[in-house]
């Protein structure tokens, strides 16, 4: 393994004189940093690959430049790897790269020592990706000669990617190059974690290494051939049927076959640890013209288990087969074996393969909003603190000096709660960016050279408990709102004596008299109003005194509502609020929710829903077209969702109305879209909102079964100021209620996550949430009892008729169970939920493509290559 990785390093860095240049491909999204390159030499095109490299100077704070020594081992190294940057100062030094959030990248780092420092001593240090350790680097470890390379496939969680070098001993961290290449999102799908590259191999007796521009993703393919194998090749064109993997032509126009045609073709690889999990991607193409009496058919075995009984490569067409779930290998030794079937007249072949191990990055990065705010503060004030690199909060041993963070658990993004910039040489005004640190509890800007006035925005930061502005050159007065915060909320405010405190002087006697007079008048008015209210209540028992809605732009009269519904003729559904009627508005279908005067939902929830939906807009939230608020006549007018609610489809009630039982991929898409709607409420709304009533009847389906979240009457804002929860009376639907919320009256966004977990169980199982006819009436207890048997078929909805794959369904089920964890801190957030559901759908689509590809083989019988059926959880 190490020998091959050494070869990868030097072939990747070599001059590639044996590769013929082709027309340059599009480098959109590529990031190629030549570490240590002087800015005045940037950018440049590497002449043999035509890749554009730039200096790393603007992506890291410190470091010094070194040059590798010329000798027989380094003489062939090409320009991007001949200089390096080393970091003699500080514990952690980071590169901060702007990337596209949610994009799958191939990330590659090079470390070519080249005895640049004349010490001939191997640098040893740790490499981090954001707040998580990636690997430990030992540049001169045995078998690696003069350098190291690390490569992973990783989906970015934010728009900033930090790659950090951490000093662990006496040697100095160094790096030669960083390369990022965006990949298609539906390729290289891992059930969990990221993928660490172990091999990109194509089978040939040539000595050509292949990378960009022949490979559009700039993977580095190494030639390889076992002594007991023979090579076959073709000059004919080979079509690509690999669904986005796009292997280079030179990779699939050669193949290995066993020299002894009766023997199997076996490839073995070692994992770094026996506990590692692995993914293998096999590339097949029949590249020989077969005669009428010739057949090439073989079975594929992984670790001694048959995964394809009979596979026939596509004639001059490349296909990719891979395991849909990660595979563990006994003792860390993995084996794929191809053996000809009795029908076959020709030996098996294999054109290329890629091997990865799973690497997990569990620690969430600091909240993106906080990172943007603190980096803006850092940039504007020109703070050059060496510790201010990488993630501000995690890992804790590297958190930025002057910051304190609230780190709840590894799945929840940390938040900055203390900012101490005292005695930091700050000049200029107090930055408005500070107010974007919405969880900030303490702000210390004392003993600097700040000028201007004390800003009004500090009073709006409800989480602040302490502000220290002493020892600056501030002028003017303290805003009244800030003084009121100090008086009423216990805010500790420290300012210099020269700063006037408006409104702090004692009122004059004249003012006292005025105030007293006003108070008397106010008392009289209050008494009169109360008398009027009591009289009014006695005569109008059904009238309700309530605040009016201020939004006028979408308000309809009751007569207009009657007209659009044809006097409420067609009733679509009923509930505790009243009825939902079909309507027409400007020849467009609408749904009209009419609030009954006896409704328990009440005006408060009606008003909540109107005000929320008039200010938020998201493709996965049902759109409010208008409302009616006329006396006791209340109505909400929504966009029309042709396919009703999800509950009707899961129960089969829609089958008599043109509906159909949802298949597995449709269910996953509905789950993803619902999760995205909830995620928007949690992180896209200002302030953030909790829905409080996530359930299958509140997931509405449009004409093409697109899902939208509905019914926001119970929604509440959360995380106000420094609070971690909102104390409120319990509201919601029995069966979906978060037990922690139910017991403690503590509402957080994780309460919606629990409800979504119940919804996901409904989607997976087709079971009612509560069914007294079951031995375990509650769906959670029923699911746990089924899980004890480890039989996926007993859990999955029988109406799916087994049209699902085990990898995707197990992952979805495990996600649902994590959402309903009794402890809210152990539940994932909705961003993570949506991401993992996307992975479920990718796994299923890959499985379907694999089956479809195999169905073209008349005698092929697929059992899902390298599928790893999970045992009982």
Q: Kindly state the tokens that stand for 649.
A: 């489809």
CB-count burial class (<10 Å; 0-12, 13-18, 19+) for 620: buried
Say whether 105 sits in a helix, a strand or coil. Answer: strand
Give the 3-state secondary structure of residue 352: strand
How is residue 309 written in tokens? 């009984």
Instruction: Judge contact between 218 and 106, C-beta under 8 A.
Output: yes
User: How far, CA to CA in Å, does 869 sit from each of 253, 795, 805?
Assistant: 34, 15, 10
- Cα–Cα distances (Å) from 313 to 252, 296, 320, 321, in that order, read 12, 8, 10, 11
Map tokens 């078929």 to a residue: 793
Cα–Cα distance for residue pair 684/479, rounded to 1 Å: 30
**Neighbouring-strand partners of residue 162:** 96
Q: How far apart are the first and last CA of the chain?
A: 33
CA gap 191, 805 in Å, rounded: 13
Give which of 620, 613, 567, 619 is closest to 592, Cα–Cα. 567
For residue 687, is the peptide bond before it cis, meaning its omega torsion is within 30 degrees of 0?
yes
Q: What are the structure tokens assigned to 212, written together?
A: 């960009």
Strands (E), 722-813: 726-727, 746-747
Paired tokens of 221: 């393919």
The conformation of residue 468, written as its DSSP 8-state character, comes to E
Q: What are phi and psi of 520, to 5 degrees?
A: -60, -45
CB crowding 541-568: b at 16 or more within 10 Å, else e: eeeeeeeeeeeeeeebebebbbebbeeb
Rounded Cα–Cα distance for residues 55 and 486 (Å): 50
Torsional class of 193: left (φ above 0), alpha (ψ -120 to 50), beta (otherwise): left
Q: Is 104 annotated as a binding residue?
A: no
| d(C-alpha 8, C-alpha 198), whole Å | 10
Radius of gyration of the chain (CA): 33
Q: Return the DSSP state at 371.
A: H
Secondary structure of 679-692 as H, E, C letters = HHHHHHCCCCEECC
In what side-by-side order are the strands of the sheet with 298-302? 265-270, 333-340, 298-302, 305-311, 861-862
**Helical spans, DSSP H, in 118-203:** none
- Cα(671)–Cα(756) distance, integer angstroms: 9
Helix then strand count (H, E) for the chain reads: 15, 47
Q: Which residues pair with 862 in a beta bridge?
A: 308
Which residue shows structure tokens 């079975």? 299
Pairing of β 442-444 and β 500-501: unpaired
DSSP 749-761: HHHHHHHHHHHHH
Q: Could you tell me which residues are beta bridge partners of residue 493?
A: 467
Collect all residues with Cβ–Cβ distance below 8 Å to 291 and sequence separation of at least 6.
none
**Distance from C-alpha of 82 to C-alpha of 285, rounded to nearest angstrom:** 38
Would you say 848 and 830 are in contact if contact means Cβ atoms under 8 Å apart? Answer: no
Which residues belong to the active site?
A: 693
**Tokens matching residue 106:** 């191939």
Which residue positions form the known binding site for ATP?
593
């Amino acid at each position: 393994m190490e020998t091959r990785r050494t070869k990868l390093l030097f072939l990747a860095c070599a001059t590639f004189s044996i590769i013929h240049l082709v027309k340059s491909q599009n480098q959109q999204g590529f990031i190629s940093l030549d570490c240590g390159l002087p800015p005045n030499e940037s950018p440049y095109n590497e002449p043999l690959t035509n890749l554009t490299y730039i200096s790393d100077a603007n992506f890291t704070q410190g470091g010094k430049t070194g040059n590798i020594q010329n000798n027989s081992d380094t003489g062939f190294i090409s320009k991007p790897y001949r200089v390096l940057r080393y970091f003699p100062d500080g514990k952690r030094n980071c590169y901060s790269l702007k990337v596209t959030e949610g994009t799958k990248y191939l990330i590659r780092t090079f470390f070519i020592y080249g005895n640049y420092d004349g010490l001939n001593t191997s640098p040893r240090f740790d490499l981090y990706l954001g707040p998580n350790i990636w690997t430990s680097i030992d540049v001169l470890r045995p078998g690696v000669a003069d350098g190291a390379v690390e490569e992973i496939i990783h989906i970015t969680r934010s728009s900033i990617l930090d790659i950090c070098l951490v000093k662990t001993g006496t040697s100095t961290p160094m790096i030669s190059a960083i390369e990022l290449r965006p990949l298609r999102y539906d390729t290289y799908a891992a059930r969990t974690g990221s993928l660490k590259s172990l091999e990109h191999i194509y089978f040939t007796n040539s000595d050509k290494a292949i990378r960009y521009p022949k490979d559009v993703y700039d993977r580095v393919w190494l030639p390889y051939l076992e002594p007991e194998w023979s090579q076959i090749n073709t000059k004919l064109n080979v079509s690509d049927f690999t669904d986005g993997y796009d292997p280079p032509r030179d990779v699939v126009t050669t193949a290995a076959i066993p020299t002894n045609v009766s023997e199997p073709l076996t490839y073995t690889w070692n994992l770094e640890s026996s506990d590692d999990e692995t993914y293998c991607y096999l590339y097949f193409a029949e590249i020989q013209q077969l005669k009428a009496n010739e057949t090439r058919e073989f079975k594929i075995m992984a670790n001694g288990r048959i995964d394809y009984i009979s596979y026939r490569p596509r004639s001059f067409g490349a296909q990719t087969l891979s395991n849909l779930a990660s595979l563990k290998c006994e003792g860390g030794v993995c084996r794929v074996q191809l053996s000809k079937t009795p029908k076959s007249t020709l030996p098996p072949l294999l054109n290329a393969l890629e091997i990865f191990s799973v690497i997990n990055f569990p620690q969430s990065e600091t909240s993106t909003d906080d990172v943007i705010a603190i980096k803006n503060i850092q940039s504007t004030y020109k703070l050059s603190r060496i510790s201010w690199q990488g993630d501000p909060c995690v890992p804790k041993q590297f958190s930025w000096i002057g910051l304190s963070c609230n780190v709840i658990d590894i799945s929840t993004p940390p938040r900055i709660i203390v900012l101490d910039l005292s005695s930091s040489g700050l000049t200029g005004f107090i930055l408005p960016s500070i107010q974007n640190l919405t969880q900030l509890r303490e702000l210390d800007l004392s003993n600097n050279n700040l000028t201007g006035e004390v800003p009004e925005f500090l009073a709006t930061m409800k989480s602040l408990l302490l502000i220290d502005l002493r020892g600056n050159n501030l002028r003017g007065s303290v805003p009244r709102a800030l003084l009121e915060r100090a008086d009423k909320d216990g805010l500790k405010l420290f300012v210099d004596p020269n700063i006037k405190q408006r409104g702090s002087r004692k009122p004059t006697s004249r003012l006292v008299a005025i105030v007293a007079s006003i108070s008397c008048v106010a008392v009289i008015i209050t008494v009169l109003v109360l008398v009027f209210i009591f009289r009014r209540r006695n005569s109008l028992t059904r009238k309700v005194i309530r605040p009016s809605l201020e939004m006028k732009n979408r308000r309809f009269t009751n007569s207009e509502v009657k007209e659009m519904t044809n006097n409420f003729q067609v009733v679509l559904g009923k509930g505790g609020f009243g009825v939902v009627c079909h309507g027409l508005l400007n020849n467009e279908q609408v749904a009209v929710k009419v609030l009954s005067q006896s409704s328990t939902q009440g005006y408060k929830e009606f008003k909540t829903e109107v005000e929320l939906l008039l200010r938020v807009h998201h493709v996965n939230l049902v759109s409010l077209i208008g409302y009616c608020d006329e006396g006791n006549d209340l109505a909400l007018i929504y966009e029309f969702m042709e396919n009703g609610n999800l509950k009707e489809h899961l129960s089969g009630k829609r089958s008599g109305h043109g509906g159909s039982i949802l298949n597995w991929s449709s269910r996953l898409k509905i789950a993803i879209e619902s999760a995205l709607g909830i995620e928007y409420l949690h992180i896209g709304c200002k302030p953030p909102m909790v829905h409080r009533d996530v359930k299958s009847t509140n997931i509405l389906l449009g004409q093409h079964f697109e899902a939208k979240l509905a019914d926001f009457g119970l929604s509440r804002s959360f995380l106000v100021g420094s609070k971690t929860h909102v104390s409120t009376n319990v509201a919601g639907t029995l069966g979906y209620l978060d037990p922690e919320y139910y017991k403690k009256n503590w509402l957080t966004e994780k309460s919606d996550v629990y409800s979504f977990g119940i919804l996901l169980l409904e989607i997976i199982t087709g079971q009612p949430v509560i069914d007294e006819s079951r031995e375990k009436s509650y769906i959670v207890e029923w699911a746990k009892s089924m899980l004890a048997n480890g039989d996926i078929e007993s859990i999955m909805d029988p109406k799916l008729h087994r049209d699902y794959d085990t990898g995707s369904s197990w992952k979805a089920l495990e996600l649902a169970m994590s959402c309903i964890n009794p402890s809210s801190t152990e539940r994932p957030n909705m961003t993570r939920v949506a991401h993992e559901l996307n992975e479920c759908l990718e796994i299923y689509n890959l499985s379907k493509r694999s089956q479809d590809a195999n169905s073209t083989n008349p005698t092929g019988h697929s059992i899902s290559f390298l599928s790893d059926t999970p045992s009982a959880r």
